[in-house]
Protein backbone atom coordinates (compact mmCIF):
# COMPACT_ATOMS: atom_id res chain seq x y z
CA UNK A 1 0.00 0.00 0.00
CA UNK A 2 1.42 3.38 -0.99
CA UNK A 3 1.39 6.50 1.12
CA UNK A 4 -1.61 7.97 -0.73
CA UNK A 5 -3.61 4.79 -0.10
CA UNK A 6 -2.54 4.75 3.54
CA UNK A 7 -3.62 8.37 3.96
CA UNK A 8 -7.00 7.54 2.43
CA UNK A 9 -7.51 4.74 4.96
CA UNK A 10 -6.59 7.04 7.85
CA UNK A 11 -8.93 9.80 6.62
CA UNK A 12 -11.81 7.32 6.23
CA UNK A 13 -11.12 5.79 9.65
CA UNK A 14 -11.12 9.17 11.38
CA UNK A 15 -14.27 10.23 9.51
CA UNK A 16 -16.14 7.07 10.50
CA UNK A 17 -14.76 6.59 14.02
CA UNK A 18 -14.64 10.21 15.16
CA UNK A 19 -16.76 12.20 12.69
CA UNK A 20 -19.70 9.79 12.54
CA UNK A 21 -18.99 8.13 15.91
CA UNK A 22 -19.64 4.75 14.28
CA UNK A 23 -18.75 1.97 16.77
CA UNK A 24 -19.12 -0.66 14.02
CA UNK A 25 -16.21 0.98 12.18
CA UNK A 26 -13.87 -0.52 14.79
CA UNK A 27 -14.29 -3.90 13.05
CA UNK A 28 -13.48 -2.34 9.65
CA UNK A 29 -10.34 -0.49 10.73
CA UNK A 30 -8.83 -2.55 13.58
CA UNK A 31 -7.26 -5.93 12.72
CA UNK A 32 -8.96 -8.91 14.41
CA UNK A 33 -5.77 -9.95 16.22
CA UNK A 34 -4.86 -6.43 17.36
CA UNK A 35 -4.30 -6.23 21.11
CA UNK A 36 -4.53 -2.93 22.91
CA UNK A 37 -3.90 -3.61 26.57
CA UNK A 38 -5.56 -0.47 27.89
CA UNK A 39 -8.94 -1.00 26.16
CA UNK A 40 -10.72 -4.19 25.05
CA UNK A 41 -12.49 -4.54 21.67
CA UNK A 42 -15.80 -3.78 23.39
CA UNK A 43 -14.08 -0.86 25.07
CA UNK A 44 -12.97 0.56 21.72
CA UNK A 45 -16.57 0.49 20.47
CA UNK A 46 -17.72 2.11 23.72
CA UNK A 47 -15.08 4.86 23.39
CA UNK A 48 -16.24 5.65 19.84
CA UNK A 49 -19.92 5.64 20.87
CA UNK A 50 -19.19 7.98 23.80
CA UNK A 51 -17.39 10.65 21.76
CA UNK A 52 -19.15 14.00 22.10
CA UNK A 53 -21.22 15.08 19.12
CA UNK A 54 -20.24 18.54 17.90
CA UNK A 55 -22.97 18.93 15.28
CA UNK A 56 -20.63 18.24 12.35
CA UNK A 57 -20.96 15.08 10.33
CA UNK A 58 -17.93 14.04 8.32
Residues 38, 43, 48, 52: is their CA dihedral positive or negative? negative
- Three-state secondary structure call for residue 7: helix
Boundaries of every domain in the chain: 3-50
Residue 50 neighbours by CB under 8 Å, 6+ apart: none
pLDDT digits (tens, 9 = 90+) for 1-58: 899 999 999 899 889 988 888 888 988 988 888 777 766 667 777 777 777 766 555 4
Closest CA to 48 of 17, 27, 19: 17
**Exposure string (b/e) for 5-14, b if CB count within 10 Å is 16 or more?**
eeeeeeeebe
Tell me the whole-structure pTM to 2 decimals. Answer: 0.59
Q: What's the confidence (pLDDT) of residue 41?
A: 64
Q: What's the confidence (pLDDT) of residue 17?
A: 85
Amino acid sequence: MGSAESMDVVVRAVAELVGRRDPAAVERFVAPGYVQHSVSADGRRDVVAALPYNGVMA
